[in-house]
């Protein structure tokens, strides 16, 4: 349930409601918006407790949230969540772009990619140090060495770093080097990992599971928020269907649906969503038109030499062209690309 406080509720009244709920065994998460404070209550709804709460000073109303996800819902927080890194804001009016190679292949190659990304004004670099692959014989990433290369790329270019964390044991290590911790599609329902990320202060980029429903995706985000970390970025990256002309089926309908259901920012990965560089620019444009708050795109200096996902990676020239095309689409829907 959700306890909505009056706009004029005093701090001591809000604290007293929180104490009462905690004494009854509920978890409480506070969200202070522009007009009022809302308390998200974790636990089973009870009519008599709801009536008691509504009689307390400062309480406007108590709402029973019928959806299984509470903290990520619009009922809990009406305003959009905006995740800020100085002037870079994910979830605001601007559309952010995250770009870089699928995998960190070496220091030289990563720095080359970082310079390409930086040159066109992108502020966030992606690159996988740990690479979960379907085949055990495929390139698995450079692991800790790759993380060190990512840190060096940030030192040289000033770019923020997004990289994937594979399990709960590696969270502290990855957090040393990354600004945003990514959960890949195969780990969307790794609940031990999600809980550990919920105890972190750094933002989490949560990719949709390849066979997950929207509700399952939002429930995965709920795990993170329920542990106290409200900085979650949702990423639509395509789902598995019967179609074989694309690697996955990019579900762009999920963007407006999730933005209706949740206050969390939503970005789109057209690279994994299609698996072919030819379709990436069109899906990037469509994602912005659908209301996405950002894009995460795979870019490689020489895709034909990439150790991971070369066929879906854009080369520098195609990436620049994609940015220009998406810039025009963003302007047409009253937004702009957040490029420096």
With respect to CATH, is domain 83-337 assigned 3.30.200.20?
no
Percent of the chain that is helix, strand, coil (3-state, to 5)? 40, 20, 40
- For the chain, give the mean pLDDT: 95
pTM: 0.91
Rounded to whole angstroms, what are the CA distances from 11 to 8, 180, 318, 325? 9, 33, 54, 49
Is the distance from CB of 318 to CB of 310 less than 8 angstroms?
Answer: no
What mean pLDDT do residues 99-106 have? 96
**pLDDT single digits (tens) 239-268:** 999 999 999 999 999 999 999 999 999 999
CA atoms within 13 A on the CB side of 87: 7
For residue range 50-87, list pLDDT tens digits in order.
Answer: 999 999 999 999 999 878 899 999 988 989 999 999 99
pLDDT tier, 191 (very low <50, low <70, confident <90, very high otherwise): very high
**The predicted structure's pLDDT at residue 134:** 72
CATH 3.30.70.1140 residue ranges of the chain are 2-63
CA distances (Å), 147 to each of 49, 200, 202, in order? 49, 18, 16
151 by Cβ neighbours in 10 Å (0-12 / 13-18 / 19+) ranks as: middle
Q: Tens digit of pLDDT for each residue in 135-184?
A: 776 767 788 999 999 999 999 999 999 999 999 999 999 999 999 999 99
The tokens of 336 are what?
């702009």
Q: What is the CATH number of domain 2-63?
A: 3.30.70.1140
List residues bridging with 62 in a β-sheet: 3
């Amino acid at each position: 349930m959700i306890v909505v406080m009056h706009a004029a509720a005093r701090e001591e009244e809000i604290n007293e409601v929180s104490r009462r709920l905690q004494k009854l065994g509920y978890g409480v998460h506070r969200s202070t918006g522009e007009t009022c404070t809302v308390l998200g209550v974790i636990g089973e709804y009870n009519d008599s407790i709801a009536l008691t709460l509504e009689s307390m000073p400062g309480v406007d109303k108590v709402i029973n949230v019928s959806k299984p996800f509470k903290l990520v819902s619009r009922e809990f927080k009406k305003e959009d969540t905006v995740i800020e890194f100085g002037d870079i804001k994910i979830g605001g009016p601007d559309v952010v772009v995250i770009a870089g190679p699928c995998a960190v292949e070496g220091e030289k190659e990563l720095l080359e990619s970082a310079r390409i990304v930086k040159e066109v004004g992108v502020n966030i670099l992606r690159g996988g140090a740990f690479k979960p692959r379907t085949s055990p014989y495929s390139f698995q990433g450079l692991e800790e060495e790759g993380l060190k290369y990512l840190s060096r790329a940030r030192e040289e270019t000033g770019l923020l770093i997004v990289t994937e964390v594979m399990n709960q044991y590696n969270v502290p290590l990855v957090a040393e080097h990354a600004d945003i911790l990514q959960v890949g599609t195969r780990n969307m329902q790794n609940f031990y990992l999600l809980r550990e990320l919920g105890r972190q202060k750094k933002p989490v980029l949560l990719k949709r599971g390849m066979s997950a429903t929207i509700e399952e995706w939002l429930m995965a985000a709920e795990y993170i928020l329920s542990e106290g970390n409200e900085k979650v970025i949702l990423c639509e990256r395509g789902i598995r269907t019967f179609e074989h002309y694309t690697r996955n089926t990019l579900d762009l309908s999920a963007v407006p649906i999730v933005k209706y259901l949740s206050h969390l920012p939503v970005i789109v990965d057209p690279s994994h969503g299609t698996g072919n560089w030819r379709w990436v620019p069109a899906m990037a444009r469509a994602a912005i038109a659908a209301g996405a708050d950002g894009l995460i795109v795979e870019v490689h200096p020489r895709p034909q030499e990439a150790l991971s996902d070369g066929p879906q990676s854009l080369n520098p020239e195609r990436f620049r062209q994609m940015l220009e095309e998406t810039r025009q689409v963003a302007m047409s829907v009253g937004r702009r690309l957040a490029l420096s």
